[in-house]
Amino acid sequence: MPAETAYVRDKIESGFWSSVHTVRSNTNSIAQFSSFLEDQEISLKDVQIKHLVQWRNSLATKFGYERVSNRTLNVRLRAIVGFIEWALSHNYIQDSFWGLRVEKLIRTGQLNFNQKQQAQRIRSIRLLLTESTCRDPLPTMEDIERFSKKLPKSFRPMMALMLGTGMRISEVLSAPVSAFPSYASVLKDPNRMYSIRLDSRVMTIKNNKTRTVFIPGRLFLTIYDQVSPSLYAGNQSLFFANENHQAWTPSTIQKSFKRASNLAGLRYSITPHTLRHVFATGTLEKWQESGFSSEMACLIWLQKQLGHSQVSTTANIYINMTSELHAHDRKVLQQYEQDLCQMMQEADDE
């Protein structure tokens, strides 16, 4: 059985890939990488890190299809690195694949000084492949403030909700009023965290995983005040709805975000998913100030808040992000909630 087929079957049967989207994304990435190797007349058993670099560069320029975004490039590289590691452990690739054999020896302590230096270099190269060169930098709070002023007023509460909770755009747009705490109850005690129930039976949620997310009371009051009560027809109505009392489409919001990013003169566009990353990295950066006993406790909380199946997913995405996240903005991140509330209040006063 070809390695690609065996790998996909193994991941599906083990339950590690639980969604159709994950299977399709990984399968497509592996198929593109295999096609690249075939065109270059490179067999899988002889693959080296340099071939991953060549493939990455071909994606970043043009290789038989339109140039892909940094985000898509990062997703495809992650898929291939996972496949390569599996293929090596199942003897589809020679042990000479630069780096992976050395990293396996780290656990046994069978490394001399030079090998340890090489292992550090390998980790840097692999981080470079899957993170540093493939992802747009996260916006600062200053960038987001400039962006919010160019965003249509009706979309600013959605922005604040995604920025304050890490919810996906599909979850925000499909959330009914009944999912949120009542305005009156929050008004009585605005200084604590309140829960939002994300129910897959009435909402669009990735992998149909019902969960609860938390939102600061003051932020919720600010958002609620900016959402027109005339749109509410009862407990089953949408919290956010257009002028026709229908749900907004994600593409409408995404286009508006891109337009606002351009009007704000930002080098990189802010997308709804960018706000999810900003929330997660900001929370992880200030885990001590947020009252968590450890960074791992914060990661576990983020896993539940973001709806990841495994805490390793959260760690793989955000540990690398926060390690290189705008060191000069840490003071801003520590005042994250305060700045966000103030930003939304100023926008409401315009």
Diameter of the chain measured on Cα atoms: 70
Residue 345 has, within 13 A of its CA and on its CB side, a CA count of 10
Distance between start and end Cα atoms, the chain: 64
58-90: b (≥16 Cβ within 10 Å) or e: ebeeebeeeebeeeebbbbbbbbbbbbebbbee
Write down the pLDDT at residue 147: 95
Per-residue pLDDT of the chain (350 residues; tens, 9 = 90+): 788 899 988 888 887 787 788 888 889 889 988 998 888 888 888 887 777 777 877 776 654 445 566 667 777 877 887 788 788 778 887 655 544 444 455 455 555 545 545 545 444 445 445 444 445 678 888 999 999 999 999 899 999 999 999 999 999 999 998 899 988 999 999 999 999 999 988 898 887 888 999 999 999 999 988 886 544 444 458 899 888 888 899 999 999 999 999 999 998 889 999 999 999 988 888 888 878 887 778 888 898 899 888 776 777 677 554 443 333 333 433 444 455 555 555 555 55
| pLDDT number for residue 16 | 76
pLDDT at 208: 83
Orientation angle between helical segments 272-285 and 250-263, nearest 10 degrees: 70
DSSP H helices in 247-308: 250-263, 272-285, 295-306
Rounded distance between C-alpha atoms, residue 112 and residue 298, angstroms: 35
- Whole-model pTM: value is 0.61
Give the model's pLDDT for residue 319. Answer: 59
- Provide the residue type at 164 as one letter: G
Confirm if 334 and 211 have CB atoms less than 8 A apart: no
Tell me the two tokens of residue 302: 């983020």
Q: Could you give the 3-state DSSP secondary structure of residue 316?
A: helix
Q: Cα separations (Å) of 202 from 171, 179, 235, 238?
A: 10, 10, 12, 10
φ and ψ of 193, to 5 deg: -85, 140
Q: What's phi and psi for 138, nearest 5 deg? A: -70, 145
Backbone angles phi and psi of 168, in degrees to 5: -75, 160
d(Cα 343, Cα 345) in Å, to the nearest integer? 5
User: CA dihedral in degrees (37, 43, 46, 48; nearest 10)?
Assistant: 10
The highest-level CATH class for domain 141-349 is: mainly alpha
| 171-174 contact pairs (CB < 8 A, 24+) | 171/198, 171/203, 171/204, 171/205, 172/240, 172/272, 173/204, 173/238, 173/240, 173/247, 173/248, 173/249, 173/250, 173/253, 174/202, 174/203, 174/204, 174/205, 174/238, 174/247
Per-residue model confidence (pLDDT) at position 160: 94
The residue with tokens 């965290």 is: 193
